[in-house]
A and B are shown apart, each in its own frame.
Chain A
């Protein structure tokens, strides 16, 4: 009885040890080797769109890109694309690693990023977007909705 107990304990500890070790090895980052000119960082914006709106219709992807560009132009937010993307806790895909997932061949996210950087804005100046079925923030729900595209709601402060 004693030995069975100890064996069980070891087994669980082994599993735990393996799991914890695996967690520490997880974070990887992929680096783009294309030269960026000034703040013309299409690849960076495309990566964010990929992380947040991979399965969304094309307009939804441009819309996510447009929110980033609107924030860059707004004095209340960081004024570079990287600054906006990496701002603490703003985009779930950055916090949970989806941001580093490789972009699939044939993905439309680069075109969507280009369009957003050219000024195409399906969100009419929105500074916020969220997925209502995944968000718990009361504050986000209190914002004025401008439009809904796919699973995202795009909003501005009143």
Chain B
């Protein structure tokens, strides 16, 4: 093939002369060279844009950390609640911003996982502290956590001092940083010449974390399930228990799982249905924790009410009787229904079970009882205020359509007894939750009707 090409060149050369051929070939070479230079220049510009966005994020991170340290220093001496609130609000805002900036930077996840944890807890803690102070608590009750957070932010502030020097001297090579992975940070015990930015991760290698009332507190992730009783079963005992409860055609033990919750994993088929399902049963007490399966569902043959009946029957078979359906969402000819536990007619939203039912034949496809198993317990339900008193504190123009007593989970994964009011104003539908003991407005949800069901936001 090359010969043909060569022959072609020779033909052209013979036609237009040696000199002209040379000129043409030379121009082609110049064009290619020119094009390469353009590409290279474009590459350099784009690379610079990326480096600039890293530098911007780093400068803003430095600024955020310095600001947080200032604000937390002031917290030590404020005597006035208003100033304390605005200072905490500032800490909240800056720690969110610091976290956002840190997420932009090309650090490996492992090297900054503890810094992320610190910033998340700092932000979450400030938020919950603001709420607590508004509810009448004294800031001195939280001294221990504030002090330990203050120590860490001071250390971080020293680190960013050095980073700032490096940044302004243009010493930070983001390329090299991208190559530093978790392994290098964790293994380097020797005094290596690490860039100042690497000290961000190093400062937090020993960060334990704090316990407070917030979603990111240390104790949240290690919470133990309330519903379980301590009776550890063998896989055979668990299997037999499940066989008594559900209409099982076949069931086979697959494996054990030792993650967040000790579980047995089975594969099973329910009578009358062909789909193979994976069943997760707790080792403690043999409770069905979740069931997963999927197939195509092509039509809607049964109504939502019928689906609710099928789901309720399934849950009842598992020994759980005190539940009511709350909301549902339809999609791809299946419906996911949320059930909440009840006690003495009080709806307990923290104890949730979700069941997905196929709308072509009522088959239970997915079952998820995380909320129920972790939170369900007998509760002492005592409302010191009446529902009439609660109704008094609502927004005057809200037209109330429904009201009842219930228990809802709070942001800090705790729970609170509230009166639930469903109301409309203009064309917006709301759920307002008023604390049944303090008459404080705990939460408001917007209800959005969609084709597939109601969304609470």
Known: A37-B457, A75-B116, A76-B117. A124 touches B261 (CB 8 A): yes
Select from chain B the residue with minimum beta-carbon distance to A3: B9
Cα(A4)–Cα(B370), bound, Å:
74
Which residues of B from 272 to 297 have beta carbons under 8 Å from A?
278, 280, 290, 292-294, 296
How many A residues have CB within 8 A of the partner chain? 53
B260 touches A124 (CB 8 A): yes
The interface centre, meaning the residue of B183, B216, B259, B368 with most chain A CB atoms within 10 A of its CB, is B259
Cα(A121)–Cα(B280), bound, Å:
10
A75 touches B121 (CB 8 A): yes
- Give, as a whole number of angstroms, the nearest-CB distance from B35 to chain A: 6
Chain B residues whose C-beta falls within 8 Å of the C-beta of A3 in the assembled complex: 6, 9-10, 13
Cα(A62)–Cα(B114), bound, Å:
27
B356 touches A115 (CB 8 A): yes
B2 touches A79 (CB 8 A): no
Whether a CB of chain A sits under 8 angstroms from the CB of B66 is: no
Q: Which of A6, A13, A88, A110 contacts B107 (CB 8 A)?
A: A88
Chain B residues whose C-beta falls within 8 Å of the C-beta of A121 in the assembled complex: 290, 370
B2 touches A7 (CB 8 A): yes
Whether a CB of chain B sits under 8 angstroms from the CB of A41 is: no
Which residues of B from 92 to 111 have beta carbons under 8 Å from A?
99, 103, 105-110
B6 touches A75 (CB 8 A): no
Cα(A78)–Cα(B370), bound, Å:
23
Which residues of A from 116 to 149 have beta carbons under 8 Å from B?
118-126, 137-139, 146-147
Known: A124-B263, A147-B257. A119 touches B354 (CB 8 A): yes
B296 touches A106 (CB 8 A): yes
A-contact bits for B230-259, CB 8 A (1 contact / 0 none): 000000000000000000000000010111
B263 touches A59 (CB 8 A): no
Stretch at the interface among B24-32, B299-307, B392-400: B24-32
A7 touches B5 (CB 8 A): yes
Chain B residues whose C-beta falls within 8 Å of the C-beta of A122 in the assembled complex: 278, 280, 290, 292
A79 touches B120 (CB 8 A): yes
Cα(A58)–Cα(B292), bound, Å:
9
Q: Which of A24, A73, A118 contacts B39 (CB 8 A)?
A: A24
Q: Which of A75, A119, A126 contacts B120 (CB 8 A)?
A: A75
B336 touches A114 (CB 8 A): yes
The interface centre, meaning the residue of A8, A11, A13 with most chain B CB atoms within 10 A of its CB, is A13
B368 touches A146 (CB 8 A): no
Q: Which of B35, B186, B332 contacts A111 (CB 8 A)?
A: B332
A123 touches B259 (CB 8 A): yes
B6 touches A4 (CB 8 A): yes
Which residues of A from 3 to 20 have beta carbons under 8 Å from B?
3-4, 6-8, 10-11, 13-14, 17, 20
Q: Which of B25, B108, B116 contacts A89 (CB 8 A)?
A: B108
- Give, as a whole number of angstroms, the nearest-CB distance from A62 to chain B: 6
Whether a CB of chain A sits under 8 angstroms from the CB of B182 is: yes
Chain A residues whose C-beta falls within 8 Å of the C-beta of B216 in the assembled complex: 75, 79
B116 touches A77 (CB 8 A): yes
Whether a CB of chain B sits under 8 angstroms from the CB of A108 is: yes
B109 touches A88 (CB 8 A): yes
Known: A7-B5, A17-B35, A124-B257; 4 extra A-B contacts, CB below 8 A, are A24-B39, A75-B124, A110-B331, A122-B292
**Which A residues lie at the B interface, using CB under 8 A?**
3-4, 6-8, 10-11, 13-14, 17, 20-21, 24, 37-38, 40, 58-59, 62, 73-79, 83, 87-90, 106, 108, 110-112, 114-115, 118-126, 137-139, 146-147, 156
- 28 interchain pairs (CB within 8 A)? A3-B6, A4-B2, A10-B25, A24-B39, A37-B448, A62-B292, A73-B215, A75-B116, A75-B117, A75-B120, A75-B121, A76-B116, A76-B120, A83-B103, A88-B105, A89-B109, A111-B332, A111-B334, A115-B366, A119-B368, A122-B290, A124-B259, A125-B259, A125-B260, A125-B261, A137-B183, A139-B183, A146-B258
